[in-house]
């Protein structure tokens, strides 16, 4: 199943420990965290090994030049086809993962890489050259991606529970989401039950 999370901001002391603990059930096989202390950024991952069970599938995954860092949850069904195309363009691969295919697709095609992917996914790529995070979610919204802005700070995650456990956000209920729940029995995206916390819509990127 896997999970991903990340933060931008100087005030998130020990939040990585909280998120890793709360998301362990989604990825019991491995976990990893990438830090950029200069830009007060962190990216995390808990792994359920499905494709390439070796340690080579460890995430967050860094490009060879360390300019691009990826944390990814899901599966790209046509990754072998994309991989072959990238090899024909001169790319070399050191793993058998679809994770590496996503990373090198972004390096080659930028944000348009998501047009190539057939599968279920939620991922974040940190582009150090642009000083930018790029997040994307699959077209059917199979894989969750939840986020919030706190002034000039930012958090994203695969589940809502770590937000509650972190104590960095208000636990105020969303009146809109509550009304939807009582009326329809569910909460419509992009809303969540927490005020100011949202889901990235299926097929969207940010």
Catalytic residues: 2
Calculate the dihedral angle through the C-alpha atoms of 71, 15, 142, 61, rounding to the nearest 10 degrees.
Answer: 10
Phi, then psi, of 133 in degrees rounded to 5: -100, 135
Q: What angle do CA 132, 124, 113 make, to 5 degrees?
A: 85
60 contacts 44 by C-beta, under 8 angstroms? yes
What size, in residues, is the chain? 206
Strand partners, 157: 5, 146
Q: Whole-angstrom Cα distance, residue 167 to residue 158? A: 17
6 contacts 75 by C-beta, under 8 angstroms? no
Q: Whole-angstrom Cα distance, residue 117 to residue 105? A: 10
Retrieve residue 198's tokens: 């949202």
4 contacts 134 by C-beta, under 8 angstroms? no
Look up tokens 């990340």; give the residue: 6
């Amino acid at each position: 199943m896997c999970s991903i999370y990340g933060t931008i901001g100087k005030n998130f002391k020990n939040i990585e420990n909280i998120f890793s603990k709360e998301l362990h059930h989604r990825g019991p096989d491995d976990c990893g965290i990438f830090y950029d202390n200069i830009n007060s950024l962190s990216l995390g991952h808990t792994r359920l090994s499905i494709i390439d069970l070796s340690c080579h599938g460890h995430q967050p995954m860094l490009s060879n030049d360390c300019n691009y860092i990826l944390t990814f949850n899901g599966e790209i069904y046509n990754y072998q086809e994309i991989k072959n195309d990238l090899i024909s363009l001169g790319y070399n691969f050191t793993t058998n993962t679809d994770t590496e295919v996503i990373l090198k697709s972004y390096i080659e095609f930028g944000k348009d890489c998501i047009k190539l992917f057939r599968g279920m996914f939620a991922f974040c790529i940190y582009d150090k050259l642009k000083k930018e995070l790029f997040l994307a979610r699959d077209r059917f919204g199979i894989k969750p991606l939840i986020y919030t802005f706190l002034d000039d700070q930012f958090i994203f995650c695969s589940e809502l529970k770590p937000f509650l456990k972190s104590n960095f956000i208000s636990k105020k209920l969303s009146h809109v989401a509550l009304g939807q729940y009582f009326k329809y029995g569910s909460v419509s995206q992009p809303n969540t039950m927490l005020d100011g916390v949202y889901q990235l819509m299926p097929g969207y990127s940010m």
